Amino acid sequence: MKTIFKSLFAITVLSLVFSSCGNGGSDKKSGALSSSAAEKVYVAPGEHDEFYAFVSGGFSGQLAVYGLPSGRLFKVIPVFSVDAEKAYGFNEETKPMLNTSHGFIPWDDSHHPDISQTAGELDGRWVFINGNNTPRIAKIDLTTFETTEIIEIPNSAGNHSSSFVTENTEYVVAGTRFSVPYPQKDMPIAEYKGNFKGALTFISVDPEDGGMDIKFQIMMPGFNYDLSHPGRGKSHGWFFFTTYNTEEANSLLEVNASQNDKDFIAAINWKKIEEYVNNGGGTKAPTNYAHNVYDEHTHTATSTMKDEILIVNPSDVPGAIYFLPTPKSPHGCDVDPSGEYIIGSGKLAAELTAHSFTKMLAAIEGEKFDGEAYGIPILQYEEILAGAVKQPGLGPLHTEFDGKGNAYTTFFISSEVVKWKLGTWEVIDRKPTYYSVGHLMIPGGNSRKPFGKYVLAMNKITKDRYLPTGPEVTQSAQLYDITGEKMELLLDFPTIGEPHYAAGIPADIIKANSKKFFKLEENKHKYVTKSEADAKVVRDGNEVHIYMTMIRSHFAPDNIEGIQVGDEVFFHVTNLEQDYDVPHGISMIGAQTSELLIMPGQTETFKWYPKNVGVWPFYCTDFCSALHQEMQGYVRVSPKGSSVPITFTLDGDAVDAE
């Protein structure tokens, strides 16, 4: 995003200057911190927020869970990042989640969370989110709030027009930002035009367990595919993607990709392509990508490399893909709750464009074409236009809907949220954001049934809104009440990384299904220890496996002898608790990867390489009980080749290994 707007930098700076003095004044007048605003966001101690907001962590690769309206942070879910707090990506069980065809990549840039839907309404089962840099789509299970699946997207680059779901979660869609040679090859960059391809990937989602699988990949012309949204209601079965750089420039895009008066929204009839594929259509092509799945019962992830993908070329399925001309490098691509209007936000355009789905079908039917691009028909602009919002602001990005006939669009350059009316296209209200808003979110705002009570603006620039914390100021979200004719700014709260986009949902849809603990009898971990009596230490050459349990307030075994310098020691630790909110931690002095935080009924593993002889302690890292400080043990390390046998203490008694 930042580079896209470089050419507008001067205007941006100017508008910032204006918004910080001009709007700052009106802010005080309208009393953003007036007592009524304070009351609207106050959630009394012990009470619950009305909504969950899943806010992407941008370059942190995480997903943060906030309550709305309070703005309280409940959890940070690591997705494309390692997380010391949860040992995700550190413990042996979750390392495979971050495997890719490029090896272990414990970082990514995550942008667009989207919640699963049934019949066009949020069902609260899963959140999907994209990793842009090394293209991946992840799924987070909302019973555990853990990342349970990551699928890599081959032939894609800068996976940005992702990860949006169709209205029955038939598919989660991933679109490439950068076009690249397909298949990848060594070729001059100057020969980009006509030779690079843009892959749009449709990943099927199993309706029962949510299992993801790449169903097909459409090889589109070499444009940049920016954002996307599914059709819904009457337009269910279609998917819409904004494109920019239809010029197919390969350098200095800020100038060279802004030449065309109109770029396109690509309208994809995925139902038609699905039918083609189900009847044996498409070409199987060799590829290489990772599919990583976390199993809740083994508490372990596995990574499988896949070597084939089904490619569909637009010319294979005539009548499935059309281009909708849309002014000036459109960024956001949003579909209203009825499925009739497709909103394209031309970043450099003077107006917001709304296409009509009904008119689009009629134009297709009547063959109202304006030429073609790489064999894909371009529909006549006037034939499909529903209307335009005139002079709404500068630098439109994204639009969400309140379900009452209103739309809300963010304007990066003029730094505001603008409320306008679907159908009449008139501007109803505008409120400044502090500053330079990117996405905005209304819970359910991208479904048939939005919950139009609040809009959350996610800002790129914070400046003076918080106490300074060195050169880096946390990025910021702002909450507005949208129940009245005019919006009212209620709250600022800090976010993690870049709050790129968010998905919100009424808490009631999720909280009843939230898991309290894992059942010990269902634990199928390879190294589970289900009772203290089964705890043991097993040597196998220089590998030592410790089968350990934890319960308030001790480990079994606690003292272990017979370990030698040069051993590879595996701590497989099972938390025997069967109660809500009783994790235990374990850390070992000198352990290089991590400490663990283990949920009730769960088993996790870390490795320890003892380097020096001596007696070395381990302890519980989570304050679990009044006797938490007593929860500890020792490992005696002897020289390599020592005759000290493996022994350990269980329940205070010394036990010999088998």
Task: Report the interface residues with ligand RUQ, using CB under 6 A.
Answer: 1, 111-112, 160, 331, 397-398, 438-439, 500-501
Contact yes or no for 460/436 (Cβ under 8 A)? yes
Residue among 16 and 597 whose Cβ is closer to ligand RUQ: 16
Query: Which residues ranging from 593 to 622 are in contact with ligand CUA (CB under 6 A)?
Result: 620, 622
Distance of CA 503 to the CA centre of its chain: 9
3-state DSSP call for residue 242? strand
Q: Does 568 bind ligand CUA (CB under 6 A)?
A: no
Q: 35 vs 32, 432, 541, CA distance in Å?
A: 9, 20, 69
Q: Which does 397 bind (CB under 5 to 8 A by kind): ligand CUA, ligand RUQ, none?
A: ligand RUQ
Alpha-carbon span 406 to 625, nearest angstrom: 52
Residue among 421 and 628 whose Cβ is closer to ligand CUA: 628
Q: Which does 370 bind (CB under 5 to 8 A by kind): ligand CUA, ligand RUQ, none?
A: none
Q: Which does 1 bind (CB under 5 to 8 A by kind): ligand CUA, ligand RUQ, none?
A: ligand RUQ
Q: What is the DSSP string of 123-183?
A: EEEEEEEEETTTTEEEEEETTTTEEEEEEE-TT-SS--S--EE-TTSSEEEEE-SS-EESS
Min. distance of Cβ 50 from ligand RUQ in angstroms? Answer: 25
Interface pick for ligand CUA out of 430, 500, 584, 636 (rule CB under 6 A) = 584
Contact yes or no for 58/500 (Cβ under 8 A)? yes
3-state DSSP call for residue 509? helix
Alpha-carbon span 577 to 594, nearest angstrom: 22
Q: What is the DSSP string of 344-393?
A: EEETT-SEEEEEEHHHHHHHHHTT-EEEEETTEEEEPHHHHEEEEEES--
# residues near ligand CUA by CB under 6 A: 8
Which residue lies nearest ligand RUQ, judged by its C-beta? 438
Q: Does 631 bind ligand CUA (CB under 6 A)?
A: yes
Residue among 482 and 588 whose Cβ is closer to ligand CUA: 588
Min. distance of Cβ 222 from ligand RUQ in angstroms? Answer: 20
Min. distance of Cβ 132 from ligand RUQ in angstroms? Answer: 7
How many CA atoms are closer than 13 Å to the CA of 552, on its beta-carbon side? 12
Min. distance of Cβ 227 from ligand RUQ in angstroms? Answer: 6
Q: Which does 111 bind (CB under 5 to 8 A by kind): ligand RUQ, ligand CUA, none?
A: ligand RUQ
Amino acid letter for position 488:
E
Q: Which does 331 bind (CB under 5 to 8 A by kind): ligand CUA, ligand RUQ, none?
A: ligand RUQ
| 12-47 b/e (C-beta count within 10 Å ≥ 16 → b) | beebbeebbeebeeebeeeebeeeebeebbeeeeee
Interface pick for ligand CUA out of 380, 628, 650, 657 (rule CB under 6 A) = 628
Handedness of CA 257, 258, 260, 263 (dihedral sign): positive
Q: Which does 501 bind (CB under 5 to 8 A by kind): ligand RUQ, ligand CUA, none?
A: ligand RUQ
Min. distance of Cβ 637 from ligand CUA in angstroms? Answer: 24
φ, ψ of residue 493 in degrees (nearest 5): -145, 145
Residue among 417 and 631 whose Cβ is closer to ligand CUA: 631
Amino acid letter for position 326:
T
Residue among 182 and 618 whose Cβ is closer to ligand CUA: 618
Q: Which does 628 bind (CB under 5 to 8 A by kind): ligand CUA, ligand RUQ, none?
A: ligand CUA
Residue among 394 and 548 whose Cβ is closer to ligand CUA: 548
**Residues lying near ligand CUA in the complex (CB under 6 A):** 553, 584, 620, 622-624, 628, 631
